[in-house]
Chain A
Amino acid sequence: MTPTRRTRNPSDMARPPAMARTAPSPARALLRLLLALLVAITAVALTQPARAEIEVNVNRGDVQPLPIAVPGFGGTQGAEIAQVISANLQRSGLFRPLDPASFTERDLSAGVQPRFDSWKQINAQALVNGTVTVQGGQLKVDFRLWDVFAGQQLLGLQFTSSPENWRRVAHKISDAVYERLTGEKGYFDTRIVFVAESGSRTKPVKRLAIMDQDGANPSYLTSGDSIVMTPRFSATSQEITYMSLRPESSTIYLFNLETTRRESLGNFPGMVFAPRFSPDGGRVVFSVERGGNSDLFVMNLSSRTSTRLTSDPGIDTSGSFSPDGTKIAFTSDRSGQPQLYVMGSDGSNARRISGGGGLYTTPVWSPTGEFVAFTKQVGGEFHIGVMRPDGSDERLLTTSYLDEGPTWAPNGRVLMFSRETPGGPSRLWSVDVTGRILQPMPYPGAGSDPAWSPLLN
């Protein structure tokens, strides 16, 4: 798929200053957008005193989702494309797609300016409309994003692809809208690799599986004849690494999703587990167990040489590189209980960063480098949380009987994890980094160990 982008309107080049994409944090970007809309609405309100007041309520990161209208696009599969976009924006928690039954303008086309008044009436702050055409076997989707109260186009793009890729086109439009309105990259044109679970609790069947981030197109990657766990995406390629466990041995595999080529990381004297790629995809950090003791190693994938990083008698596992590749966060129980540590990626200067009381495991550095996400176990409950890489500003985002194993969306805004109820199956959930938007993933089956892909090309 090779989407083409072209600017359809000069206003896309000259964004309103208040919408400029310079805000360092999404909350600030959204606040700026809402303030800009408030200014626009105030201006409009001078001539339309009967219009309802918009409420901008920013309180400890609580943001009112932005009312947005995504009417069905014209043309083949236009309705389905709009539904996928609408569902993506809704799940982000930052947008509130309006009920299509309330729309009064119904003959929209990407080639005609909308009648803004009819969208103001239902208080749509933003409008996404589009037209789908099929030319020479290619699907062509034109779409525009409008600031309703300013009466201005914010974005106009055309995507061309083969017709079976219509969902990916919808995800790319979602990402474009998200990025234009929040100032941050989107995460909708991505996939989730995870462990699909079936069988009983005492005879589990665990298969590697992959699906779109919205739960569509799930498919299995392994047959289930061995237990698989902890798949992790490369940040640079459509490649994953995971662990396979048989009674005789454990193996770490590298699996290329495009070529379906699978290879073992190699043979080691003990168990190998907990693999994770370096940010450049050139190395894998993993644990090797020998004589009951687990230590961290790193393998250079081009030279196939591995280096030992830790050698203390405690458990050292769950290594995760910082985005610049210079540091590794990991779990160790060298203090007597599992806690989080950060060291140089050569194994130097290990330093404990967790200290809030309780057991800390599964540190995962955020793609932006801003946070380390983790699982915390305290008082009989489990939490997904985040802290700064120096251990400050710990915040717990979830609480349940058993939450574990966070993975970051590529923009660092959303975390996905496994949640289990007592005696029940494991399911995939997501929470945004503020902890405000917690929801089950739209995947009906039992699953665990999710890993978020980078944005697709």
Chain B
Amino acid sequence: MVLSVNSSMVFRLVLVGVAAASLAGCAKPKTPMATSLPPPVTQTQPPPRTELPPATQTPMTQAPLGAPPGSTQDFVVNVGDRVYFDTDSHDVRADAQPLLDAQAGWLRRYSAVKVRIEGNADERGTREYNLALGARRANAVREYLVSHGVPADRIATISFGKEQPIDGGSDDAAWQKNRNGHTAIVSGAR
């Protein structure tokens, strides 16, 4: 919102002020005394203008409120859509549980949402074994969510094995990122 004040409005305010002053004088009749009046306000003389601060210096700010609750963006940003695994393991790590708890809570609240858990593996394994390993990881995430109250029929699984790395590097940090279970929203999110 931008304040818009023009000169005629300022002028009206000044007139209101003069009228109020004269009404006050009427309400309290006293012995006339010779006092010098202030110089009359004439309509031909515009009142001094007050400089308004520029609009940019107003105390009001505006920012986006964030992802609409229940949206895919809400899930990705405010909950988190990926948990990570140890080498050749599909055990849900302790550090992944708070995120999966939050995923389960979000999915319980937005009960129309369906998801697909995508299991991923790093490149340090052969293709077919990694497909099987990724399937185990996807299923481990699915079972965790089901055990935390998300109906099983809302969760599909697939394994991408080592075919869809999120980090193209070839070091420990990249491999750690690529050993993950990704919860992808398929439908039902606003």
Chain A interface (Cβ within 8 Å of chain B)? 200-202, 204, 206, 227, 229-230, 245, 247-250, 270-271, 273-274, 287, 289, 291-294, 315, 317-318, 331, 333, 337-338, 359, 361-362, 375, 377, 401-402, 404-405, 420, 422-423, 448-449
Contact = CB atoms under 8 A, between A and B. Distances in A.
A456 to B, nearest CB: 27
Nearest to B119: A292
Given A229-B163, A422-B170, A338 B158 contact: no
A289 B135 CA distance: 7
A317 B135 contact: no
Given A271-B158, A292-B90, A317 B169 contact: no
A318 B128 contact: yes
A361 B128 contact: yes
A201 B158 contact: no
Contact of A247 (B116, B128, B166): B116
A271 B139 CA distance: 12
A248 B118 CA distance: 10
B168 A294 contact: no
Contacts of A404: 126-127
A292 B126 contact: no
Nearest to A229: B127
Top 3 A-B pairs, shortest CB-CB distance: A292-B139, A201-B168, A422-B170
A227 B135 CA distance: 16
Contact of A245 (B138, B160, B165): B160
Interface residues of B, number: 35
B126 A361 contact: yes
A289 B159 contact: yes
Contact of B129 (A200, A318, A420, A422): A318
B140 interface: yes
Given A289-B135, A291-B139, A292-B140, A230 B118 contact: no
Interface in B141-176: 143, 156-160, 163-171
Contacts of B128: 230, 273-274, 287, 317-318, 331, 361-362
Contacts of B159: 271, 289
Contacts of A401: 170
A271 to B, nearest CB: 6
B124 interface: yes
Nearest to B178: A202
Contacts of B156: 248
B158 A292 contact: no
Interface of B: 88, 90, 116, 118, 123-129, 131-133, 135-136, 138-140, 143, 156-160, 163-171, 184
Given A202-B166, A204-B163, A315-B129, A271 B184 contact: no
11 contacts: A202-B164, A229-B127, A229-B163, A245-B163, A247-B158, A271-B135, A289-B135, A292-B136, A317-B129, A359-B125, A404-B126
Contacts of B136: 292-293, 315
Nearest to A448: B127
Contacts of A377: 124-126
A377 B169 CA distance: 19
A230 B127 contact: yes
Contacts of B126: 318, 361-362, 375, 377, 404-405
B132 A287 contact: yes
A356 to B, nearest CB: 17
Majority SS at the chain A contact face: strand
Contacts of B167: 202
A270 B142 CA distance: 14
Given A202-B167, A294-B132, A361-B125, 19 more contacts: A200-B168, A201-B168, A202-B166, A227-B160, A248-B116, A271-B131, A287-B132, A289-B131, A289-B132, A289-B159, A291-B139, A292-B139, A318-B129, A331-B128, A338-B129, A375-B126, A423-B168, A423-B169, A448-B127
Given A202-B168, A249-B158, A292-B139, A315 B127 contact: no
Contacts of B157: 292
Given A273-B131, A420-B123, A250 B158 contact: yes
Nearest to A314: B132
A289 B128 CA distance: 12
Contacts of A227: 160, 163-164
A377 B160 CA distance: 21
Contacts of A337: 88
A201 B162 CA distance: 11
Contact of B158 (A229, A248, A315, A423): A248
B127 A405 contact: yes
Contact of B135 (A201, A292, A318, A402): A292
Interface centre among B128, B129, B156, B171 (most CB of A within 10 A): B128
Contacts of B171: 422
Contacts of A289: 131-132, 135, 159
A71 to B, nearest CB: 44
A294 B135 contact: yes
B87 to A, nearest CB: 11
Given A201-B165, A248-B158, A249-B158, A402 B127 contact: no
A201 B118 CA distance: 18
B129 A270 contact: no
Contacts of A204: 163-164
Contact of A331 (B90, B129, B160, B166): B129
